[in-house]
């Protein structure tokens, strides 16, 4: 069932586990993630970046596909359809397209403008029953062409944004998108603890979940992270499984070229990655609790 992310994240925060946001790129991705969440009785968030939304022929196409799939596959666990790193304009497009959740990434605006725009979106989301994620302090790495340096958020700025009534807050704590470089210093737990202290019950979001060691993930959850974004890891699993299939010449055997066969190992690999993350985040079995 399609729901806002508000309730599932409040429960996660109270229960000291995190809900995974898995980004989708096409039908196979969406199907693999939904089926795995259902199988594991876990709430789940489907993330859609503006680039992926464009690739999938627009947010309306994505919204229609996800809603139909939830119905046709009998998905009963809570599912949120969430815009990832939305621009101001992109947020409005997703509100109109029937998403249940949006992230407004105002981190590139001066704090005053970030606050003004977030305030406006808080009001609209409350009216529509949607959840809203805000960001303070840019996340490092590359996201749709924008390169952030992985700075740490100012806890007072986090409090200012949290007080506006957003449902979840992404605070930069040294995390980055994509693969982590070998010389990455790790997450700043001091920043996370300071942000948590200022924002209290606010579910915190950890972006760039790919490649963060498991013990750091667990520590972050203990310190108040209730949503973890995973994107690159599913892409790497899908690519590796597809590469193996082709390198073994399986596409040349019988009807191995049939897309339903050619894409099957990749789809299974996504399921395995999602299963592993749901276990690590501790959200398995929580949907029906
Ligand atoms: Zn992100």
Interval between CA 192 and ligand 1 midpoint (Å) = 16
Q: Is residue 151 part of a domain?
A: yes
> Binding site residues for dihydroxyacetone phosphate, as ranges?
178, 208-210, 229-232
pLDDT at residue number 169: 95
pLDDT digits (tens, 9 = 90+) for 22-52: 999 999 999 999 999 999 999 999 999 999 9
Question: And the tokens for 102?
Answer: 């949006």
**Domain membership of residue 216 as a residue range:** 5-281
Q: Is residue 288 part of a domain?
A: no
Interval between CA 276 and ligand 1 midpoint (Å) = 20
pLDDT at residue number 109: 85
> Binding site residues, as ranges?
85, 105, 135, 177-178, 207-210, 229-232
Q: Is residue 252 part of a domain?
A: yes
Interval between CA 281 and ligand 1 midpoint (Å) = 17
Q: Is residue 90 part of a domain?
A: yes
Residues of the chain with confidence (pLDDT) below 50: none
pLDDT digits (tens, 9 = 90+) for 9-19: 999 999 999 99
> Binding site residues for Zn(2+), as ranges?
85, 105, 135, 177, 207
SS (H, E, C) the chain: CECCCHHHHHHHHHHCCCEEEEECCCHHHHHHHHHHHHHCCCCEEEEEEHHHHHHCCCHHHHHHHHHHHHHHCCCCCCEEEEEEEECHHHHHHHHHHCCCEEEECCCCCCHHHHHHHHHHHHHHHHHHCCEEEEEECCCEEEECCEEECCCECCHHHHHHHHCCCCCEEEECECCECCCCCCCCCCCCHHHHHHHHHHHCCCCEEECCCCCCCHHHHHHHHHCCEEEEEECHHHHHHHHHHHHHHHHCCHHHCCCCCCHHHHCHHHHHHHHHHHHHHHHHHCCCCCCCC
pLDDT digits (tens, 9 = 90+) for 130-157: 999 998 876 766 655 555 556 788 999 9
Question: pTM of the predicted model, to two decimals?
Answer: 0.95
Interval between CA 245 and ligand 1 midpoint (Å) = 30
Please give the span between the terminal C-alpha atoms of the chain, in angstroms, as a whole number.
Answer: 15
pLDDT at residue number 151: 76
Give catalytic residue positions.
Answer: 84
Interval between CA 269 and ligand 1 midpoint (Å) = 22
Q: Is residue 289 part of a domain?
A: no
Q: Is residue 287 part of a domain?
A: no
pLDDT at residue number 47: 98
How many domains are there within the chain? 1
Q: Please, what is the average pLDDT of the chain?
A: 93
Relative to beta strand 225-230, strand 204-206 is: parallel
Question: And the tokens for 259?
Answer: 């897309």
Query: The CATH number of the domain where 247 resides is what?
Result: 3.20.20.70
Q: Is residue 286 part of a domain?
A: no
Q: Is residue 275 part of a domain?
A: yes
């Amino acid at each position: 069932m399609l729901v806002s992310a508000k309730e599932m994240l409040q429960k996660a925060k109270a229960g000291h586990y995190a809900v995974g946001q898995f980004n989708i790129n096409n039908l196979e991705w969406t199907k693999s993630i939904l089926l795995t969440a259902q199988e594991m009785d876990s709430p789940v968030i489907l993330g859609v970046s503006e680039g992926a939304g464009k690739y999938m022929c627009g947010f309306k196409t994505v919204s229609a596909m996800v809603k139909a799939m939830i119905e046709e596959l009998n998905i009963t666990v809570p599912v949120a359809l969430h815009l990832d790193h939305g621009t101001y304009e992109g947020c409005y497009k997703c509100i109109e397209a029937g998403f249940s959740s949006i992230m407004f990434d105002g981190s590139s605006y001066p704090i005053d403008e970030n606050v003004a725009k977030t305030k406006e979106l808080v009001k609209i989301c409350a009216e529509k029953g949607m959840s809203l994620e805000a960001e303070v302090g840019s996340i490092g790495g590359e996201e749709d062409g924008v390169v952030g340096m992985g700075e740490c958020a100012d806890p007072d700025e986090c409090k200012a944004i949290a007080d506006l009534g957003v449902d979840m807050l992404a605070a930069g704590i040294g995390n980055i998108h994509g693969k982590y470089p070998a010389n990455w210093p790790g997450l700043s737990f001091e920043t996370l603890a300071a942000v948590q202290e200022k924002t209290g019950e606010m579910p915190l979001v950890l972006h760039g979940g790919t490649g963060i060691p498991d013990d750091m993930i667990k520590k972050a959850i203990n310190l108040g992270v209730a949503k973890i974004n995973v994107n690159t890891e599913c892409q790497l699993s899908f690519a590796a499984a597809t590469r193996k299939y082709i390198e073994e010449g399986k596409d040349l055997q019988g009807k191995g070229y049939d897309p339903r066969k050619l894409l099957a190992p990749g789809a299974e690999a996504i399921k395995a990655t999602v299963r592993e993350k749901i276990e690590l985040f501790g959200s398995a079995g929580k949907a029906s609790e």
